[in-house]
Amino acid sequence: MRPGEDRSAHTLVAIDAIDRARLNDELFVPVAEQLANVRRWNAERDWGFTEADLAAVDTTPARHDQPLVVDVVAVYLPEKDGVDGVRRTFEEVWAVASEGVPENWSWRQHLEGPRPVKLLPGGKHVPGIRRVTVDLAAGWDPVDGARAIAIRGRHSASAEVMAAAAHFPAWVQAMEGVNIPFVYLGGYVVSYPENEAWRHVPCLSWNEFLGRVNLMDHWADHHQRRWAVPVVSPAGA
């Protein structure tokens, strides 16, 4: 398996029986509603996007044949107050996403200041608002399992997954790792002062027992069967 290669054949083993219409209508919201979300968050959180930035986003409705493939209005924030754009986007959009569910837990409880995240080598952060298509089940192999480090690549999603969590709280709360996979944010890497190898990857999951979303990090080498490594491509690709 080459880095970034999709395992959709395995994915369909687990979720082909899911009602595709329910996925679209219950778990996700239209692009126009997402843009309204961004407009509201932009005003509330002083992100600095202009009306021209917002108006430039195409809100034409679209559906995709593959399960858990959806268009997402993602934001990419500029640097501010000494916090680089990658970290600021991660922090700000997580704040929005965590407010959309009943409870949340994150490594904020163990760290002070911005999370130690950066993009996977080769990734680029260009500030703006963009509509992208994200496969939220890419890289998921519920049969044989996989390691994130073996399948992530230049198309692995980062801020796009966080945006999806903010727009689609119903999707987050549907994650159980059997029909709807938990997700690695494979376009990011995480490090701590005692570990400069940058081999950790942020991940989102829903704990049904506790009724909360968890933002954690796992070793990218961890072999698992319940997690996807979403990929992103331009809308319409």
What average pLDDT does this structure show over 206-217?
A: 73
pLDDT for 148-183, tens place per residue? 777 888 899 999 999 999 999 999 989 999 889 999
Residue 17 has pLDDT above 50, yes or no: no
**pLDDT classification of 10: cutoffs 50, 70, 90:** very low
What average pLDDT does this structure show over 199-205?
A: 85
What average pLDDT does this structure show over 28-56?
A: 97
**pLDDT classification of 217: cutoffs 50, 70, 90:** confident
Predicted local confidence at residue 136, as pLDDT: 95
**pLDDT classification of 220: cutoffs 50, 70, 90:** confident
Token pair listed for 165:
């969590």
Which pTM was predicted? 0.86
pLDDT for 101-138, tens place per residue? 755 556 555 555 556 789 998 899 999 999 999 999 99
Predicted local confidence at residue 53, as pLDDT: 97
Residue 3 has pLDDT above 50, yes or no: no
Predicted local confidence at residue 12, as pLDDT: 46
| Share of residues in the chain with pLDDT > 70 (%) | 78
| Share of residues in the chain with pLDDT > 90 (%) | 49
Average pLDDT, the chain: 82
